[in-house]
Amino acid sequence: MTKMPKPLYLAAGAYTMSLGTGRPEFNPRVARPGLEHYIQEVGRDVFAQIDDPETIDEGVIGNFMAARFNKQGHLGSLMTIAHPSLEYKPMIRVEGACASGGLALATGIKSVLSGLAESVLVMGVEVQNTVKAVYGADILAGAGWFAGERKEGGTYFFPQKFSDRAGAYGQKYGVEKSREAMAHWYATAVENARLNPLAQEHFNKVKDLLSQGLTPPDARTFCEHINLFHCSKVSDGAAAIVVCTKEGYKRLGLKRKDVIKIVGYGHATANLTAPPPDLTELTTSRRASAAARDMAHISTNDYGVIEVHDCFSITGMLSLEALDLAAPGQSMDLIAAGENKRTGRFPTNTGGGLVGYGHPTGATGVRMAVDLWKQLTGKAGAYQVPLKQEHGIMISMGGNDKTVVSLVVKR
Amino acid sequence: MTKMPKPLYLAAGAYTMSLGTGRPEFNPRVARPGLEHYIQEVGRDVFAQIDDPETIDEGVIGNFMAARFNKQGHLGSLMTIAHPSLEYKPMIRVEGACASGGLALATGIKSVLSGLAESVLVMGVEVQNTVKAVYGADILAGAGWFAGERKEGGTYFFPQKFSDRAGAYGQKYGVEKSREAMAHWYATAVENARLNPLAQEHFNKVKDLLSQGLTPPDARTFCEHINLFHCSKVSDGAAAIVVCTKEGYKRLGLKRKDVIKIVGYGHATANLTAPPPDLTELTTSRRASAAARDMAHISTNDYGVIEVHDCFSITGMLSLEALDLAAPGQSMDLIAAGENKRTGRFPTNTGGGLVGYGHPTGATGVRMAVDLWKQLTGKAGAYQVPLKQEHGIMISMGGNDKTVVSLVVKR
């Protein structure tokens, strides 16, 4: 695909707080909000930005595991509670593990390109705090090949998988140096989260984040090559944004300055039952983001702002390499130099990302698009960065680099 | 939408046996095939029909509750095991309870209309026999509003919901007459299944099906207004078909006579948290199928073959009314006259439908499309019906008439 077949836009974004143990609002003694609450809260915030709710033609919702966390399927039908105008419209739930939000965006894009819709409400939601983290880890292992590889994973399946990647990366490029880069990643994530009132780490007051990030991994209590600070957090939350045509955003009552253009799109899927070809690379992320970049006809120098899927610090580092911002093994230098910080060359995960904001799995891909939209329209508030370039890119990744959706957007 | 934006086709369909207690192959003493088996079996049968597997651009898979039946999410990535050519292509799982298969078709349609794909492999799968039926009923209750209405449902949530519909229908239009119609529906379903070697009721040898269907409901052991014969069966199975452009099916090596044209499409979603506006009508099914019929510019006299979602006999009856084949309360007369039989005016669920073939939930909507394709291309074997009209219509329904996708197809 040489070019996006017709001009598409992202408009009217919103996301909720990422609720988890890092928030004072997280209270184990009271019933916490359910899926219904988050769908309605984020729906309210989107519909407050648009003139005529009837101009939303369709809805798509990304969700990973409400079936187990909440015993709830059929979220397309549940999504209608976001606004009465959605009743009887086409609604669908899509899923691709932690890339469910990215797939929701892809689905919205295709709906608009199909000509069957002009404006599609794209939402993502996950409510995970219904079970203890140890049970949650088993649920999330359904993003891997459960029948085939679950037994390998121990208690914490995905942390173990990415610990293995961190171990392989360290062995190849230097254990100490890679741990330092992971610690820098963590520190930057929390620094960014402190500027984002919706982030789970917003109230984190730790003075020496770097030392904390360097805490030696303990295989007896967690994993061999990563510590808890290098993990994204168990979170409840939702995000939503509208994918639309030019005519679509005008009918929503919005102006060009309120929206951003989608100029590139890539989607790649690897075999769930096969091990990654190389533990030190995100092969599928590389393919999807290269496709998005090719469609957008831009180079790696054109990114003004970046969103990557740092489910773990190591994944953030590998994502920068998958984006060709650094050769294999060299993202560590960029990170040590602070190039991914808000003051750096390519501000990355400016609202905190998965490590700092949190990771309500089905919502995450959509939250990324909302953060790009906030930055490129100047709506990011305290965490707004001065833009040096007009483009943004995101990688929404599911499982161990198995499903990846990448978008390139433009101010 | 006045017309399908560009000509679309269905090609190379296949489905597996519906495995459950009605099959001699169903053996409780041996490990039964998993999701992987069904995805590969149906994939093999589709790819055997096409020349160049690389001409499949994308994949979409409908599945309802593998998250609970099999602890497996991320089925888009798992779907790549259907054929090596799928690796790194865009794959997605979609879900809308028992309409998951219908939503997979809708997603394939939009992908092709978007111009991003020429041929999309659309699959559906469900493996439910991993748990006892009583636990399965709780899992399937996730198609309703779990947090809000699950407690109302008793042990068998959905049977109870449709028993309530059967009760309301009987009260309005005659208890005895409606039970007779339900018994006729059951008898026809088994008669059709006896001609379909893949159907779960294929080996059913009962002589007096009508009397069996008239067994009085027993509220103490099951439900007040329906008996077990009026339920679709717990099933494992998969179905797949290709949605493509004209150029697409040519590149697959197929001819016009091997494919059918998609001429109408409708998709409507009702609020999961609200009770149905009328227990004696399928309001959402009516809307979706009317939209499909309008797009196809045909009348109710044009259906040569029909597929409806008879998760229960009563739902089949209500579906004929939703299709405007009969006024409210009058489908009973058509059924008593055998108009829905293979020899009747509009042969319905010719391969057995959900009651006779079985209901592997995520696969069902796709299986319907495959049965329409088989009938309209003359590939239905022993259950082939002589076609009096060129069109077929299907209704894929999820939950209590909450998500509905309807397609109109043409020889």
Q: Where does a domain end: A259, A275, A305? A: A259
Smallest CA-to-CA distance from B259 within B272, B242, B273, B275 is with B242
> What pLDDT is stored for residue A149 in this prediction?
86
| Residue A264 contacts residue A4 (beta carbons within 8 Å) | yes
Same structural domain, B217 and B318: yes
Same structural domain, B111 and B197: no
Q: Are B74 and A5 inside 8 Å of each other by CB?
A: no
Nearest to A269 among B35, B89, B267 (CB): B89
Q: Model confidence over B19-66: pLDDT tens digits?
A: 999 999 998 888 899 999 999 999 999 999 999 999 999 999 999 999
Q: Splitting chain A (411 residues) into consecutive groups of 10 residues, what average pLDDT does each group show?
A: 88 98 91 96 98 97 98 98 98 98 98 97 97 91 91 83 97 98 98 98 98 95 94 96 98 98 98 97 98 96 96 98 98 97 97 98 98 98 96 98 98 96
Same structural domain, B152 and B223: yes
Q: How buried is residue B27: exposed, middle or buried, by Cβ count under 10 Å (0-12/13-18/19+)?
A: exposed
Q: Is residue B139 part of a domain?
A: no
Q: Are B90 and A36 inside 8 Å of each other by CB?
A: no
Q: Is residue A36 part of a domain?
A: yes
Nearest to B67 among A68, A90, A150 (CB): A68
Q: Encoding tokens for residue A43?
A: 């729906």
* Cα(A82)–Cα(A79) distance, integer angstroms: 6
Torsion-angle region of A12 (φ positive above 0: left; ψ -120 to 50: alpha; else: beta):
left
Q: Are A67 and B142 inside 8 Å of each other by CB?
A: yes
Same structural domain, B281 and B247: no
Write the DSSP symbol of residue A231.
B
Q: Are B399 and A81 inside 8 Å of each other by CB?
A: no
Q: Are A402 and B97 inside 8 Å of each other by CB?
A: no
Same structural domain, A12 and A111: yes
**In Å, how far are A21, A146, A153, A236 from A129, measured between CA atoms?**
9, 22, 22, 7
> What pLDDT is stored for residue A152 in this prediction?
74
Which chain A residues have a beta carbon less than 8 Å from that of B143? Answer: 73-74
> What pLDDT is stored for residue A153 in this prediction?
67
pTM of the complete model beyond 0.95: yes
* CATH at A82: 3.40.47.10
> What pLDDT is stored for residue B82 in this prediction?
98
Q: Encoding tokens for residue B35?
A: 């999701």
> What pLDDT is stored for residue A151 in this prediction?
77
**In Å, how far are A60, A76, A123, B222, B280 from A39, measured between CA atoms?**
12, 11, 8, 35, 30
Torsion-angle region of A162 (φ positive above 0: left; ψ -120 to 50: alpha; else: beta):
alpha
User: Which residues are within 8 A (CB) of A181 and not within 5 positions of it... i.e. 6 or more apart?
Assistant: A313, A317, A331, A332, A335, A336
Same structural domain, A45 and A126: yes
Same structural domain, B268 and B328: yes
Q: Are B270 and A89 inside 8 Å of each other by CB?
A: no
Which chain B residues have a beta carbon less than 8 Å from that of A2? Answer: none
Smallest CA-to-CA distance from B54 within B27, B25, B91, B89 is with B89
Same structural domain, B19 and B39: yes
* Cα(B346)–Cα(B323) distance, integer angstroms: 12
| Residue A131 contacts residue A239 (beta carbons within 8 Å) | no
Q: How buried is residue B220: exposed, middle or buried, by Cβ count under 10 Å (0-12/13-18/19+)?
A: exposed
Nearest to A80 among B35, B65, B271 (CB): B271
How are beta strands B119-127 and B236-244 bridged, if at all? antiparallel
Q: Is residue B141 part of a domain?
A: no
Same structural domain, B170 and B128: no
Q: Are B113 and A115 inside 8 Å of each other by CB?
A: yes
Which positions of chain B have pLDDT values less than 70? 1, 153
User: Which residues are within 8 A (CB) of A129 and not within 5 positions of it... i.e. 6 or more apart?
Assistant: A19, A20, A26, A32, A234, A235, A236
> What pLDDT is stored for residue B344 in this prediction?
97
> What pLDDT is stored for residue B153 in this prediction?
67
Q: Is residue A312 part of a domain?
A: yes
Smallest CA-to-CA distance from B296 within B260, B325, B263, B262 is with B263
Half-sphere exposure of A384 (CA within 13 A, CB side): 9
Q: Is residue A143 part of a domain?
A: no
User: Which residues are within 8 A (CB) of B85 and not within 5 positions of it... i.e. 6 or more apart?
Assistant: B53, B54, B56
* Cα(B40)–Cα(B50) distance, integer angstroms: 16
Same structural domain, A249 and A271: no
> What pLDDT is stored for residue A154 in this prediction?
74
Expressed as residue numbers, the domain containing A123 is 8-132+234-259
Q: Are B147 and A109 inside 8 Å of each other by CB?
A: no
Same structural domain, B300 and B219: yes
Q: What is the 3-state secondary structure (H, E, C) of chain B?
A: CCCCCCCEEEEEEEECCCECCCCCCCCCCCCCCCHHHHHHHHHHHHHCCCCCHHHCCEEEEECCCHHHHCCCCCHHHHHHHHCHHHCCCCEEEEEECECHHHHHHHHHHHHHHHCCCCEEEEEEEEECCCCCHHHHHHHHHHHCCHHHHHHHHCCCHHHHHHHHHHHHHHHHHCHHHHHHHHHHHHHHHHHHHCCCCCCCCCCCCCCCHHHHHCCCCCCCCCCCCCCHHHECCCCEEEEEEEEECHHHHHHCCCCHHHCEEEEEEEEEECCCCCCCCCCCCCHHHHHHHHHHHHHHCCCHHHEEEEECCCCEHHHHHHHHHHCCCCCCCCHHHHHHCCCCCCCCCCCECCCCHHHHCCCCHHHHHHHHHHHHHHHHHCCCHHHCCCCCCCEEEEEEEECCCCEEEEEEEEC
Residue of chain A nearest B99, judged by CA positions: A74
* Cα(B5)–Cα(B9) distance, integer angstroms: 13
Q: Is residue A1 part of a domain?
A: no
Q: Is residue A332 part of a domain?
A: yes
Give the phi and the psi of residue A111 in degrees, each rounded to 5. Answer: -60, -45
Which chain A residues have a beta carbon less than 8 Å from that of B271? Answer: 77, 80-81, 87
Same structural domain, B118 and B16: yes
Which chain B residues have a beta carbon less than 8 Å from that of A267? Answer: 90
How far does B36 lie from chain A, in Å, by closest CA?
9
Q: Is residue B143 part of a domain?
A: no
Domain count, chain A: 2
Half-sphere exposure of A170 (CA within 13 A, CB side): 20
> What pLDDT is stored for residue B1 in this prediction?
58
